[in-house]
Structures are given as C-alpha cells and as structure tokens.
Amino acid sequence: MRILIKNGLVIDPSRQMEEKLDLLIEAGVVKEVSASINVGPSSPDQVIDASGQWVVPGLIDLHVHLREPGQEWKETVASGAAAAVMGGFTAVCCMPNTDPVNDSAEVTEFILERADTAGLCRVYPIGAVTMGSKGERLAPLSELKKAGCVAFSDDGQPVYNPEIMRRALEWVRMFNAPISCHEEDKHLSRGGAMNESSLSERMGLIGMPKVAEDVMIARDIELARVTGGHVHICHISSARGVELVRRAKNDGINVTAEVTPHHLVLTEEAVEGYDTNAKMSPPLREEEERLALIEGLSDGTIDVVASDHAPHEAASKEVEFSEAAYGILGLQTSLPLLLDFVDSGTISRLRMIEVLSTAPAKVFNLKGGSLKEGKVADLTIIDPQVEWIFSPETVKSLSFNSPFIGRRMKGAARATIVDGRLVMLDGQLIRSA
Ligand code: DOR
C-alpha cells in the first residue's frame, strides 16, 4: 500500500524538525519526506491532503488498562484498540492487572492474539513483576519477555519487598527492559479515596498523602542506583516526587517518569461534588503539585505523558465515593488535553509530540517515534483546530468513566496509520480485511 500525505506540517522530534513537507509511505515504511513529492505515472493508493494539519510520528501510550482477559465488560483489547486509534495512538502498552494477571506466556500470547484479531494499533503487553502481582514471588520475567512483554509492572500495587524489587531490577537489566512502578505505600494511604488535604477533611474522606508516593519513589531510585536496572515511575503526581526524579537523573541513575494528562490538567477540586469520575490512584492533588508536574514535563525531568486509561463500568462508579473504583478513561482525551498546553504556550508543539511519541518509544525500546526515511510507518495526522465535544456518542471504550465527558475539546487525530496501513480516517475505523 502506498499513501501520500501532502502539504502537512511534519513535526519530528527525532530530528528536531518542523517543516511543511510531503510524506510518502510505501511497504510499511516512510519512503520519502520532501518538499514536493510526485509519484509519477503510478498513483498511490491513497492521497491525503493534510493542509493546516500536523504529520507526526504515531502516538504511543505506555500505560493503559485493556481489562482482557477477565473483565471484558469494562474493556476488551479490541475496544481499547479502537479508542486508541481514534485518539491518535498507534501503539499502547497494557498493564497486567487482568484476571488472570499477565504473569505467564499464555496470557501474554492471548493478549497479542486478541490485538492481532482487532487489527488496529500495536498492543504491547506489560508483564507482572511478581506472580499474581502479590509481591511474594518473582514472575518468570525472561519467559514473559520472550513471549512479547516490553516492560514489567505490578501496577495498582507497589512491590513492597525491596529484596524482590532488587532481584527484579537485576533481571531486567540483563534484557534492557524497564520496571514500571506504581509508587504507593498503602500503609500510609490505605482506605484513602482522594488527596490528603484540608479538602479531604472537609469532605469527610480518608486522604492519600503524597508521602505514600514519595517514600516508594525514593526507595526505587536507590534500588536503581545499586542495580543499574531501569526504574520507570508511573503516573507521578507530587512535586517532591518530581524533585526526587530530577536529582536521580542528575546523579545518572537509570530512571524515567510519566505523568497523566489528568494530573496535568485537574486538581483535587475536581472531586468536590463527590464526582467518582475524578477518583483515581494516585489522586488529583493541589495546584502547586500540578504546577510542579508541568515544570517537570517542560524541563525534561518527566519523560513522557501516559494516559493510565482505566475503564470501569457504571456500577463501579455509581456508588459512595469511598467505595468507587479508581481510574478514568484516557485514550481519546490525551491528545486534545495536551494540545491545550500548546495553545497556551506552556509547552512547544515539538515537546508535546516528543512526550507522546518519540520519548515513549525510547523509554520502552519500541518501534516508532520517528519519521526518518526508512523508519516504520506509524504516524498520526493531527487537526489542531477542529472543535468537538467528548460525549458518550464519541466514546469508543466500553466504559464511560471520565470527568471530561461533556467537555468541548480543540484538536483531534484526523488519521492514524500503523505499519503503513490506514486504520482511522476522519473518525472512521478501518480494520484489516
Ligand atoms: O486509578 C487507577 N486505576 N490507578 C491504578 O493504579 C489502577 C487503575 C485500574 O486498574 O483501574
């Protein structure tokens, strides 16, 4: 298949490029990027006029929950992949807190097979660090890696035992994979439903203090220091956590970090009306923490934005705030929420594409993140101006838990191309024949 994209603004952080160019895709790779491409007598299968639009390396989300196997009423690999490509993502990495937990080659292979059948984006499984994510015995990390896992995590849970974490880091260092760490000491946050603050007191809810996150970040940085293993900090939410990562990077420690769009956009005030769609772990925090996250993203302390797309059915959310499930949707709202930061001049568009594509590819050693000639043709065309409302009708997930439902958005993915194949154009999914 040959696709010619004309007149778009090509933004490629892998070579610091922002230039109005044409781009030709052939046989699954970027064949040519130049001022004016004429393909001669043999016309391409598809010509897309991207005037006024951005042509960028495909967006990559390092942190999503696809719920299959085991909780298919919340999301499936296929529905999650549909939400991903609608949101402009060409690849997603799915967390292992399924049922059963992805702690075996069988589960990894099952997820890969489902992704193949869905035929939309790349799906990279993340394997558990410990069996059942129970923190007691190491999972078969080499076997999981061989089966296709790109990283390891007990997301939702910390790995409490530092001896196990140390061994895990020693293992993954051998095959150059990260451990994606959910940093929360639940002895400090247990039963918590929101950020610990004067607001949580006023609302009569048990708070989750920032120190519950910070102590685990500090520990894992020290374990990365002694082992040389790669610690990736999931969904960082505190200013102190950002400072710990900043210092660790200055010390040359093998640590990277991600932040979610919702922690960049919202504060704890979003839960004021006991809106369970604003409940997640880690919780939304105070304004000064939010500003520290933005600063960390701007100065490179935080490497990537990842959505923590966490679908939950209505029954898990339409309950008392303290009983509601943690987590919100993310795949279809990440891009427009980040575009708002570009519009306000908070981050440059080059940095935005870097944190959504080039950096995630590098952090998890994945294909993509670049539009250099010869690279795999995973790319996204973004219309930065289009206005739309994130409504239940636009949601491709099986769940609707988002505090952004009803919000007017500016900017969206116009087309998503995976491995040289158009999988979404103008809001229509295109599955392989
Ligand atoms: O809010 C969250 N939801 N945080 C997590 O760590 C887990 C996730 C989920 O699985 O729903």
pLDDT value at position 433? 62
User: How far, in Å, are 277, 387, 425 from residue 393 at the CA level?
Assistant: 17, 15, 17
Q: Ligand 1 pocket test: which of 62, 63, 73, 97 has the largest number of ligand atoms within 8 Å of its C-beta? A: 97
Q: Which atom of ligand 1 is nearest to the CA of 327?
A: 1
User: Which CATH number goes with the domain that contains 29?
Assistant: 2.30.40.10
Same domain, 254 and 269: yes
Q: Is residue 369 part of a domain?
A: no
Q: Is residue 223 part of a domain?
A: yes
> Does 376 score more than 90 pLDDT?
yes
Task: Report how far residue 325's alpha carbon sits from residue 327's, in angstroms, rounded to the nearest whole number.
Answer: 7
Average pLDDT, the chain: 97
Same domain, 151 and 217: yes
CA of 65 to the centre of ligand 1 (A): 8
Q: Is residue 356 part of a domain?
A: yes
Going by their DSSP bridges, the two strands 2-12 and 89-94 should be labelled as unpaired
Same domain, 349 and 406: no
Maximum pairwise Cα distance, the chain: 71
Q: Is residue 380 part of a domain?
A: yes
Same domain, 332 and 396: no
Q: Is residue 368 part of a domain?
A: no
Task: List pLDDT tens digits, range 247-275.
Answer: 999 999 999 999 999 999 999 999 999 99
Q: Which residues partner with 364 through β-bridges?
A: none
HSE-CB of 269 using CA atoms within 13 angstroms: 8
Q: Confidence class of residue 327 from pLDDT cuts 50, 70 and 90? A: very high
Of residues 413, 394, 270, 261, the one with CA closest to residue 338? 261
User: Which CATH number goes with the domain that contains 85?
Assistant: 3.20.20.140
Give percent above pLDDT 70 in the chain: 100
Same domain, 49 and 75: no
Same domain, 308 and 218: yes
pLDDT value at position 160? 97
pLDDT value at position 60? 99
Range of the domain at 418: 3-55+374-429
Backbone angles phi, psi at 130, to 5 degrees: -125, 155
Catalytic status, residue 22: no
Same domain, 22 and 113: no
Same domain, 35 and 104: no
Q: Is residue 300 part of a domain?
A: yes
Q: Under a CB-based contact definition with an 8 Å cutoff, are residues 231 and 178 in contact?
A: yes
> Does 188 score more than 70 pLDDT?
yes
Q: Which of 12, 103, 303, 308 is catalytic?
A: 308
Same domain, 262 and 294: yes
> For 333, which DSSP code?
T
Same domain, 286 and 422: no
308: left (phi over 0), alpha (psi -120 to 50) or beta: left
> Does 73 score more than 70 pLDDT?
yes
Q: Which atom of ligand 1 is nearest to the CA of 325?
A: 11
Same domain, 23 and 101: no
Kindly give the residue spans of alpha helices, DSSP state H, lying in 141-272: 141-147, 162-174, 186-189, 198-203, 210-227, 239-250, 261-265
Query: Residue for token digits 């981050």?
Result: 347
Task: List pLDDT tens digits, range 201-234.
Answer: 999 999 999 999 999 999 999 999 999 999 999 9
Task: List pLDDT tens digits, range 292-319.
Answer: 999 999 999 999 999 999 999 999 999 9
CA of 433 to the centre of ligand 1 (A): 34
Same domain, 79 and 191: yes
Q: Under a CB-based contact definition with an 8 Å cutoff, are residues 227 and 173 in contact?
A: yes
> For 326, which DSSP code?
P
CA of 280 to the centre of ligand 1 (A): 6
Final residue of a structural domain among 342, 363, 384: 363
pLDDT value at position 1? 86
pLDDT value at position 432? 74
Q: Could you give the number of structural domains in the chain?
A: 2
Final residue of a structural domain among 306, 341, 363: 363
pLDDT value at position 41? 72
Q: Confidence class of residue 431 from pLDDT cuts 50, 70 and 90? A: confident
- Counting every residue written for the chain, the total comes to 433
- For residue 118, give both structure tokens: 């869905």
Q: Confidence class of residue 42 from pLDDT cuts 50, 70 and 90? A: confident
CA of 223 to the centre of ligand 1 (A): 24
Angle between helices 287-299 and 239-250 (to 10 degrees): 20
